[in-house]
Structure 1
Amino acid sequence: MAEMLAAAGHQVRVICSTPSYPHWKVLPGYGRFRLARAIENGVKVIRLPHYVPAVPNGIRRLIHLASFALLALLVLGVLMVRRRPNAVVAIVPSTMAAIVARWCAKLFRLPFWVHVQDLEAEMAIATGQIGRSPLTIAAARAVQRLALRGDRVSSISPAMCAHLAEKQVSRHEIVEFRNWARPDVAPIDRPSPYRAEWEVEHRFVALYSGNIAAKQGVEIIAQAARLLAHRRDLLFVICGDGPHKPALAESIADCDNVRLFDLQPADRLADLLGLASVHLLPQMAGAADLVLPSKLPNMLASGRPVVATVDQNTDLGRELSQCGLIVPPHDAQALADAIARLLDDEGLCDELGRNGQQRAAERWSKQAILEQFERELCAVVDRRDGDLEWSVLTAV
């Protein structure tokens, strides 16, 4: 997003965290206690050092997010005094940092756009990350409401936009701004190089690639693998990292039809997705309309069908209509049956894969989505030659 704005002639500054996702460990080359500046593809990037817990839990996550928000407040304030931008854009998560960005924008009387990737408080409530205390839930929602105010409030799906309206966000301020499929992801016309690298001899591969945390519910994949242990032609491959990875590794230790790998480099995404005969997209019950997984567009663009554990009457369920199979959340037997059905029906598998590729091209075109964002942002600023300040405030 920021690179597109810079390429279009805007001056863009990004304030973000030092990279630690998804390992909860600051990556090599970045100091834990020093601010890092760089120009990346025309974008001025400032990476802030902040607390990153080795083992995240409720309190440590709050400190993690609060430490970034406080540093962002200082840095954003100094930058805005030195050179007043024409707009401030904040990304949720993190809710705390978005509140900071809103305060700064209000102080300097600047247009403010907040983009919601997921409703952080609602997701934490749905997945049990903050407990069930009514006081805790009320406090989390109150903090969330402070962030969801701006000249524009955007999110990634119709259901997410509807949730914003339910949070008393004015409908004329709400804009749908989708995630996009990577342009380099397409069906591959050769065996994936990962087959040789990982010595995959099975005919079929059921693939999950992404974060391994509470809201994904990846443990259902291990349960389905046990139910399909008799299928000697099928291998389950899980690529990812996250706080639940050690527990997942322990649960599949005795499963010879499941392999667990680290998250693979982004520039090899097409090869990784091309390894799949079918993509797996587990979701926790109650969380599906609180986020539309960013991995979905690339799954569809790869030309492979998707099996998702989600209710039919959700955005995710509707997006997967005629592109994959939908099974109830937490139903391992239904997931196993859907996988087997696709593997045994090559015609259905190919049809769903083609439909998914076409849908990705129609609904998740990167260029079209970003051009729409630029038009909307320029309409808010009411000028095209402005200096756009984008604060990337996710501290995951």
Structure 2
Amino acid sequence: MKIMIVGLNYAPEMVGIAVYTSGMAEVLQRDGHEVTVISGQPYFPSWKVFPGFSKYGYAAEGGAGAPEVIRCPHYVPEVPSGLRRILHYLSFSATALPVALWRGLRNRPDVVFVVAPSLLSAPVGWIVARLTGARTWLHIQDFEVEAAFATGVLKESSALGWLAKKFESRTLRAFGRVSSISSAMLQKLRDKKVAEQRIYELRNWANLSHITPVEGRSPMRDELGIATPYMALYSGSIANKQGIEILPEAAKLLAAREDFTMVICGEGPYLDEIKRRAEGLDNVRFFPLQPLDKLSDLLGAADIHLLPQIADAATLVLPSKLTNMLASGRPVIATVDPGTVLAEEIEDCGIAVAPGDAAALARSIGMLLDNPALRERFGKAARTRAMRRWDGKQIINDLQEELQSLLNEDKKIPTPPRPTALEQR
């Protein structure tokens, strides 16, 4: 099967969506499919183009047994405000379209697979499929429009907000398959009038052979210079939409404990602000993102994983970092309201505390540190859940079967429906 993947984020980015898009492409290629990836230049989470990659030109890499990756130039804002994010996504769509058309018309893919964010890339994939007769698949990692409303990037009542909702609605209904990463997000698709037969659950996954529970003291403790008996870890992107400012607040409340260090490994536009908030706190240490070959040891160095989220956004997504947290066999404390999909995923594997409640987070950290039996029970349950729900091998095998099912369907490419009279009002 010939598969074209259109997705802004790709390896060597080490966190977020890139991990799953890259992993999917590599496994599909290894299993005998011919995979072409139309991607951007790596920049996340630092929001700076990685050294060795061009800011202004196209580049191709891979092939000879690996996916062919064509990298497109695009605008990368140093401070990703709402408008700048939109320009960032638009610039990738604009530069991706000509190369996607060229490769599509030359190679005639069987399936065009678009990864969102950014949803603005979806027309690129749809146009290529329309001209080549390929099937279409749209994978939703994040409902960007609702997240923009939740974080205040867009106002739902504004003209731009109205336009964003209409674009989302028409785009979702234009693809042969629309997938997302959790049952709650699939329900969102149903609520947005996507036909049931076109909906598919494609979870993010854990590499269970690579991320394994560490027995005893992880070597990363010594490498990072962590001398305290206990360590709580946050590792990932550091952005203002994540509610990460709660971490130094909780650390301040735990300052009297001399047996505990909070480690924050990450990069992003909010890093300097978080460091400022942590000034004077001896129990907070900052490190850059660690290489993938050290990820298992890093996760295993923690006694507790920390997963901050803001209230509204937590109802929409399952953070991609959760999969490896669970696979590491360590308990998770997430700032999330009861009844959300994230709260359900960590049930019996950790503790959910109210978003923004630093005192509750500090109490939960202290309680788990003082209760090794509960930490062990939660950790074992986390590993078991990862094995049952997040096994990457099984998830990709199921995906390949669904891709073949899509390929066997009628070749007609869905056309975005005309708005109803109600929608036009």
Q: Give the TM-score of the pair, scaled to structure 1.
A: 0.94
Aligned to 2:81: 57
**Aligned pair partner of 2:96 in 64, 67, 72:** 72
Aligned to 1:159: 184
1:382 aligns with 2:405: no
Secondary structure of 2:200's partner? Answer: strand
1:39 aligns with 2:62: yes
Distance 2:184 2:281 in 1: 38
Deviates more, 1:310-319 or 1:374-383: 374-383
- AA aligned opposite 1:291: V
**Aligned pair partner of 1:308 in 329, 334, 337:** 334
- AA aligned opposite 2:228: H
Aligned to 1:169: 194
Residues 308 and 335 of structure 2 are in contact (CA less than 8 Å); yes or no, is this contact kept in structure 1? yes
Residues 140 and 179 of structure 2 are in contact (CA less than 8 Å); yes or no, is this contact kept in structure 1? yes
Distance 2:166 2:283 in 1: 46
Deviation, 1:234, is 0.8
Distance 2:161 2:212 in 1: 42
Deviation, 1:6, is 1.1
Number of corresponding residues:
383
Distance 2:232 2:123 in 1: 40
Question: Of the two structures, which has the highest relative contact order with CA contacts closer than 8 Å and spacing of 6 or more?
Answer: 1
Deviation, 1:47, is 0.8
1:129 aligns with 2:153: yes
Aligned to 1:259: 285
Deviation, 1:49, is 1.2
Deviation, 1:275, is 1.2
Deviation, 1:100, is 1.8
- AA aligned opposite 1:165: R
Deviations for 1:257-312, whole angstroms, at most 9, x for unmatched residues? 11111111122110110111100011110111311011111101111100011112
**Aligned pair partner of 2:206 in 165, 168, 181:** 181
The sequence identity of aligned pairs, in percent, is 46
- AA aligned opposite 1:71: T
Aligned to 2:10: none
Residues 211 and 241 of structure 1 are in contact (CA less than 8 Å); yes or no, is this contact kept in structure 2? yes
Secondary structure of 1:293's partner? Answer: coil
Distance 1:209 1:289 in 2: 21
Deviation, 1:144, is 2.0
Deviation, 1:146, is 3.3
Aligned to 1:118: 142
1:10 aligns with 2:33: yes
Residues 188 and 271 of structure 1 are in contact (CA less than 8 Å); yes or no, is this contact kept in structure 2? yes
Q: Equivalent residues in 2 for 1:1-396 (5 A)?
A: 1-39=24-62, 41-131=65-155, 133-149=157-173, 150-183=175-208, 184-382=210-408
Aligned to 1:388: none
Segments of 5+ residues of structure 2 without an aligned counterpart are 1-23, 410-425
Residues 311 and 326 of structure 1 are in contact (CA less than 8 Å); yes or no, is this contact kept in structure 2? yes
Secondary structure of 2:267's partner? Answer: coil
- Displacement over 3 Å in runs of 4+: none
Deviations for 1:65-90, whole angstroms, at most 9, x for unmatched residues? 11100111111111122221111000
Residues 72 and 92 of structure 2 are in contact (CA less than 8 Å); yes or no, is this contact kept in structure 1? yes
Distance 2:180 2:387 in 1: 20
Distance 2:272 2:118 in 1: 25
Q: Give the TM-score of the pair, scaled to structure 2.
A: 0.88
Distance 2:287 2:164 in 1: 35
Residues 127 and 214 of structure 1 are in contact (CA less than 8 Å); yes or no, is this contact kept in structure 2? no
Secondary structure of 1:240's partner? Answer: strand
Secondary structure of 1:34's partner? Answer: coil
Deviation, 1:196, is 1.3
- AA aligned opposite 2:295: L
Deviation, 1:61, is 1.4
Aligned to 2:4: none
Residues 91 and 115 of structure 1 are in contact (CA less than 8 Å); yes or no, is this contact kept in structure 2? yes
Residues 37 and 44 of structure 1 are in contact (CA less than 8 Å); yes or no, is this contact kept in structure 2? yes
Deviates more, 1:4-13 or 1:362-371: 4-13
Q: How big is the alpha-carbon RMSD for the aligned residues of Structure 1 and Structure 2?
A: 1.4
Distance 2:155 2:79 in 1: 18
Residues 15 and 47 of structure 1 are in contact (CA less than 8 Å); yes or no, is this contact kept in structure 2? yes
- AA aligned opposite 2:44: Y
- AA aligned opposite 1:256: D
Residues 99 and 146 of structure 1 are in contact (CA less than 8 Å); yes or no, is this contact kept in structure 2? no
Residues 179 and 202 of structure 2 are in contact (CA less than 8 Å); yes or no, is this contact kept in structure 1? yes
Distance 1:303 1:81 in 2: 47
- AA aligned opposite 2:286: L
- AA aligned opposite 2:143: L
Deviations for 1:2-36, whole angstroms, at most 9, x for unmatched residues? 11111111111110001011111111111112211
